[in-house]
Amino acid sequence: MISTHILDTSIGNPAADVSVRLQKKDGDAWKDVGKGVTNSDGRFVFDCEKVAGTYQIVFDIEEYFKKSGRESFFMNTPVIFKISDTGRKYHVPLLLNPFGYSTYRGS
C-alpha cells in the first residue's frame, strides 16, 4: 500500500480535494502509476501495483490554495522516495502551508 495524508498547518485542518499523482522512475523519465484526489480527511490511497524502485508523489498545492483564495509560493510539490521492500506499507504524509512544507515516512 502507498498512501498519503495532507495537513494544512496554516489552518490546522486536513487538506481536502488536493490532486495527487504517483509516478515511478523509468530510466530518465517519470511514468504515472496512480492519481486521485484527497478525501475530506486529507487522505488518499493509491491503487496500483507496488514494485521496487524510485517513486514520487506530486501534490498540486497551488490549485488547493487557489480554491480557498490564498496564494502559494509553491506550485507542485514532488516528494521522491524509494521502495525496496514491497511487503511493507509506504505512507508519505505532507504538512503544508502557503510558504513551506515538510514530509516524513509515516506508518
Tell whether the model's pLDDT for residue 52 goes beyond 90. yes
Q: Is 53 left (phi over 0), alpha (psi -120 to 50) or beta?
A: left
Mean pLDDT across the chain: 96
For cell 492519481, what's the residue? 35
> What kind of fold does domain 2-103 have according to CATH?
Immunoglobulin-like (2.60.40)
2 beta partners: 46, 90
* Over residues 72-91, mean pLDDT: 95
Give the distance between the most distant pair of CA atoms in the chain: 41
pLDDT of residue 101: 97
Mean pLDDT of 90-94: 97
State the virtual CA torsion across 51, 6, 9, 41 in degrees, nearest 10: -150
43: cell is 487522505
94-103 tens-digit pLDDT: 999 999 999 9
Which pTM value belongs to this model? Answer: 0.93
Please report, for the chain, how many H helices and E strands are present, in that order: 1, 9
Query: Where do the domains of the chain lie?
Result: 2-103
What phi and psi, each to the nearest 5 degrees, are found at residue 67? -60, -30
> Could you give the CA distance from residue 32 to residue 45 in angstroms, rounded to a whole number?
15
